[in-house]
Structure 1
Amino acid sequence: MTAYDPNNIFAKILRGELPAHRVYEDDRALAFLDIMPRAPGHTLVIPKNPARNILDIDADDLGYVATIAQRIARAQMQAFGADGITVQQFNESAGGQVVFHLHVHVIPRHDGVAMKPPASEMAKPEDLAAAAEKIRAALKNL
């Protein structure tokens, strides 16, 4: 397996070198909006410790990322009036992974509404900002 690359896009977001619409952050994890969302509110949850994917992450860090993903999912249900949540996590190129820093996709869903194809359309910054604010507000009510 290839070694973790500290110059991947999510590591740069963690270091503040690239912007992101952050919805949650603590000393162990960061949650931010996907700039090419498959549905409004599509959020990525990542560990702060370097981990390429599920194959090399510390089990405690993986469990913590899952805990934060669950909090984000609960907030999305409230913030978007969602009917359900899709959670996805990909590993290595053959498994569909594109960015090689472990990340969990948490996507609010509505009955009868299909997700957009992956990486199909960049969202408008104002739409991302509004979605991020909705999730942050809902997190305060949990």
Structure 2
Amino acid sequence: MAYDSDNIFAKILRSEIPAGTVFENDHVLAFRDIAPKAPVHLLIIPKGAYTDFADFSARASDAEIVAFNRAVGEIATRHKLDETGYRLIANIREDGCQEVPHYHVHLLGGENLGSPFKN
């Protein structure tokens, strides 16, 4: 999958599209999902042009990887999700139903989310 610099997250990073930003640092941006699936549903993205987890883990600098992981924890704590629990989801490529070709994780919480593996 090639990186598409016109994807919606790239446009958000360039401030071409507004986002409900909840966190930002040199390497990471987090904002509210426009179609939330839980009381708290945030998208967390690296500011670099990475298509998915494999791309990010292979090409991102150590500083970017550490900043991203620490940001996820800090965001969860700021939203008090670390007290009761939360879910992180990364959809990867076609079979994983990735809709935007920019690496991102969904942070969901604020209620009991149920088991994702129940039939």
Q: TM-score, normalised by structure 1?
A: 0.70
SS of aligned partner of 2:72: helix
Task: Output the aligned Cα RMSD.
Answer: 2.0
Is the 2:39–2:111 Cα contact (8 Å) retained in structure 1? no
Q: Deviations over 1:32-64 (max 9, x none)?
A: 000101112211110001000111112623332
Cα distance between partner residues in 2 of 1:92 and 1:41: 24
Q: Which moved more, 1:28-37 or 1:59-68?
A: 59-68
Determine the C-alpha separation between the residues in 1 that align with 2:18 and 2:77.
25
SS in 1 for 2:53: coil
Give distance in 2, aligned partners of 1:95 and 1:82: 29
2:73 maps to which residue? 70
TM-score of the superposed pair, with normalisation by structure 2 = 0.83
Distance 1:47 1:41 in 2: 19
**Structure 2 residue runs without a partner (length 5+):** 115-119
2:8 paired with 1:9: yes
The answer to whether the Cα contact below 8 Å between 1:43 and 1:107 also exists between their aligned partners in 2 is yes
Shift of 1:109: 3.6
Q: How does 1:1-142 map to 2 (within 5 A)?
A: 2-57=1-56, 58=60, 60=62, 61-77=64-80, 83-111=84-112
Moved more, 59-68 or 27-36: 59-68
Report the Cα offset of residue 83 of structure 1: 2.4
- The offset of 1:104, in angstroms, is 0.9
% identical equivalent positions: 38
**Which whole-Å CA distance do the structure 2 matches of 1:26 and 1:8 have between them?**
21
Counterpart position of 1:122: none
1:105 Cα offset (Å) = 0.7
Amino acid paired to 2:104: H
Q: SS at 1:94's partner residue? A: coil
Take 2:53 and 2:111, find their aligned partners in 1: how far apart are those partners? Answer: 28
Aligned residues: 111
Moved over 3 A (4+): none
Going by fraction, where is helix more abundant, 1 or 2? 1
Matched with 1:126 is: none
Contact 1:86 1:109 in 2 (8 A): no
